[in-house]
Amino acid sequence: MELATNYADGDQGSGWESADVFAGLRTKVGEMPVGFSHDGRYSLEGEGSLLSRSSFGFVPMENLAFEVSHHYALDDLFGVHYEAATIEARYRWTPKWEFEASQTLSFRDDSELGHELIVRRFGHDLLVEFGVSKTSGEGGSTFTLKLRPELLFRPSKIGYIEPR
């Protein structure tokens, strides 16, 4: 767990700005790895949570991982800027092939904010990723092809759980 705060002294006044919190927990429920994480910024003047992302992830089978996240932020006038949820999954089909998918939905207007599907192939020294994604407000779909040395690859930590 980590807690930080900032003291501002400027034209708009001085004082403590916010309390920033990052907390995470990895454990097992039976034999199933689970992880919780929370990243939040809280007002010290009583406006509540200015920004937060809370996630819960679990690995029900050795090659399958899921994560559910809630994202929330206030704007400069302390109105809700956005509130959304994301679900992610990763499946390791074989030691060489992996599939990853995510979808983000907005709670404010019941719309889809984006989705992504990635097919990943681990070579001897080279990683190949092919992805298709769509993000609301960015027009059509985006196709990506990534080639990079496996040494530089950092897998996503779904549910704050280290990939196997």
- Low-confidence stretches of the chain (pLDDT < 50) are 163-164
Q: What is the pLDDT of residue 50?
A: 79
**pLDDT value of residue 13:** 59
66-88 pLDDT, tens digit per residue, is 999 999 888 777 778 788 999 99
Cβ contact 158:88 at 8 Å: yes
Please say whether the beta carbons of 46 and 73 come within 8 A.
Answer: no
Residue 162: what pLDDT? 54
What separation in angstroms does the CA of 98 have from each of 64, 89, 103, 148?
10, 11, 17, 16
CA 83 to chain CA centroid, Å, is: 14
SS3 of the chain: helix, strand, coil, percent, to 5: 5, 70, 25
- Tell me what pLDDT residue 44 has: 74
